Chains A and B, each alone.
Chain A
Amino acid sequence: MKTSRKLMTLVLACLMVAGVLVGCGGSKGDTIKLGWMGSLTGEQAAYGICESQTLKMMVEEKNAQGGILGKQIELICYDTKGDAQEAVNVAKRLCAQDKVCAIIGPNASGQCIAIQSVLDQYKVPDLSTVATNEKVTVQDGKLKEYNFRVCFLDPQQGKIAGSFVYDELKFDKAAILYDINDDYAKGLKDNFIKVFTAKGGTIVAEEAYTGGDTDFTAQLTKIKEADPQIIFTPIFYQDFIMIHKQARTLGIELPMLGGDGCASQVLFDAADAVDGSYVINHVSLVDPAGDDFRKQYADKWNGAKMELNGYMAHDAFLLWCAAVEKAGKADPDAIAKAYCEVEVTGMAGKIKISATDHNPVGKSGCVEQIDGKNKTYKFITYIAAD
């Protein structure tokens, strides 16, 4: 008995060592390593999965064409589980263990803000896809040296939302329902209120909930009482769906307006409830210019539908390629410098990163209406973000 237990321990120890060795042995000679991190599980899994699949597809394509600087690209993807703490662990692993030359992702502001210290320590640049919070690139007036992004910012998104409701829909009474625990929601809400009230609109109800809540009937009944023309919901798609379902059963037939966190193909699972509502997005999901890209993605991944994140990951990858070529070497510092010097045309228009705040210049947002019957989006308008 005793010997067999010892033997077992030995075998297990060997297996563990082997596991570590296998884990490290991923590098195949002389490659350029690109890291990606994001949610592959959890609430925002749909976003992260789409980002990583898009990158895998594009890296494969680029490698088939001969790679970059004559070398093959090696993409390393890790799951952050949508958790800021996990994002820090993953960033450390990418920088210290895998020694990547740059990171793309993660797909949420909270995680991007959390990994800053790791990026600064290892001097590896991160290019975020959809992190719209102001603090991702600049905090307390100080530029974060290694944080970049390819998307517009919350103040701009709040402005787009405010202008759209007041100028396009010509509504002057709006209600707000948001997650009080979420920085993204709060940022959007504040900026929406600023722009909307400056134009002459009134916020008739401002209701909050705590992330994880599933019953919104109390707040919705209050909102119904305040009689708004639209409900602004700067939240993520799962809550957006639940709020719609409950609003409809309470007899609230108002449209709602969600930010880019709501724009997901998953909305069509509840097509009847969300029909007629609007979402702000970085790029039109029904633009014919993206047809080839969507088809390529669907062919590669068993007919999977393209999420917004795929477009943004696409643009981030193009920018990274341009920066590596400009830098002439896969050196993290040189790539960070080159990010502000190159310009590419991606799915969401021209991308030129400003050296002063590491944000893209001259972006615009598009507003789309959900067509529940045909399970698609209807393009409404583009609104300049600046």
Chain B
Amino acid sequence: MDLQYYLQQLVNGICLGGMYALMSVGYSLVYSIMSFSNFAHGGVIMVGAYVGFFALTALKVPFLVAFLLCGVGSGLLAVIIERLVYSPLRKRRAPSLYFIISAMGASIFLENFVIATIDGTPRNYPTLFSNSIKIGSLSLGLDSLLMIIVSAVSLFVLMIIIQKTKIGLAIRACSYNEKAGTLMGINSSLVIFVVFLMGGVLAGFAGMLYGMRFIVKPTIGQVTNKSFVAAVFGGLGSLPGAIVGSLLLGIMEIFVASINSSLRDLFVYALLILVLIIKPSGLMGKPVEDKA
């Protein structure tokens, strides 16, 4: 067990964490505005993975087109879910518990909808990037590299939108205080629309990258449980927190698994409980107690 070994495990951890980051940002975005955990996010990611799969195999479009289709498909789906499921609740000023329950319902609905319309059989993406680059004895798959690059670029673009544009300013204002923002003339419906659209597009990218690296099946939405843990760990509602939390969680998970793989999930969920007990606001989150 030399340095190379630990470096390789570190690279593995960053790859895993990069994927968590792409997924957990969706949780944090919605949480920052609407203060509830959008568990339908996993379903949106799963649908993204299917869109990419069928774009590549049935429509036979090039990778980049399929990738964009994933973003469009999942973005639309996220917006539709918001309009159909959350918007009526919002108009009634329902408590956030109602949102969470509806989100879980939407997630189970999506899973079963795919089983009923497509089927439950797992599918494999055609191999697009089988090569790997080697630095010394370190090995990094092109698909993993792509995943890190896509995660980094899309998260960077997202940060720019939020920090530098007018709609970003509106999002930040609403995340600080939605009521006051609305009083100041911010169209909060538009802000929510944009937030779901951005979260959905990222979910689509994440879905396709997940499918390429692993597998496509109706239950992949469940892997997002771990990215949710990452979002809580980093501090729900904080984008930099979600990214840092995801990377740290990925790296820690890999090192735990390299010691004893059966401790892996035990560790992740123990961490979730510990964070909620000791520091509910996570690494970088707003100090809010209501974190569900």
Please give the residue numbers on chain A whose beta carbons come within 8 Å of chain B beta carbons, in ascending order. 41-43, 45-46, 81, 180, 207-210, 213-215, 217-219, 221-222, 224-225, 238, 241-242, 245-246, 248-251, 266, 269-273
Contact = CB atoms under 8 A, between A and B. Distances in A.
Given A218-B257, A250-B132, A251-B132, A245 B5 contact: no
Interface in B134-148: 134, 137, 139-144
A41 B115 CA distance: 9
23 contacts: A41-B119, A43-B122, A43-B217, A210-B264, A213-B264, A218-B257, A221-B5, A221-B12, A222-B258, A225-B1, A238-B122, A241-B215, A242-B214, A245-B127, A246-B141, A249-B130, A249-B142, A250-B8, A250-B12, A250-B132, A250-B139, A250-B141, A273-B130
A167 B117 CA distance: 49
Interface residues of B, number: 39
Contacts of A249: 130, 132, 139-144
A214 B264 contact: no
A256 B132 CA distance: 19
Interface of B: 1, 5, 8-9, 12, 15-16, 115, 119-124, 126-127, 130, 132, 134, 137, 139-144, 213-215, 217, 223, 254-255, 257-258, 261-262, 264-265
B9 A270 contact: no
B217 to A, nearest CB: 8
A270 B129 CA distance: 12
Given A208-B261, A210-B265, 17 more contacts: A41-B119, A42-B120, A42-B121, A180-B262, A217-B254, A218-B9, A221-B5, A221-B12, A222-B258, A225-B1, A238-B122, A242-B214, A245-B130, A248-B141, A249-B140, A249-B144, A269-B124
Given A225-B5, A270-B127, A214 B215 contact: yes
B16 A221 contact: no
B214 A219 contact: no
Contact of A214 (B141, B142, B214): B214
A266 B213 CA distance: 16
Contacts of A217: 9, 12, 15-16, 254
Given A45-B119, A250-B8, A210 B258 contact: no
Nearest to B6: A221
Contacts of A218: 9, 12, 254-255, 257-258, 261
Nearest to A215: B16
Contacts of B143: 249
* Candidate in B15, B119, B213, B257 with the most chain A CB atoms within 10 angstroms: B257
Contact of A210 (B115, B126, B213, B262): B262
Pairs of residues from A and B, 5 with the lowest C-beta to C-beta distance, nearest first: A249-B141, A251-B139, A218-B257, A217-B12, A269-B124
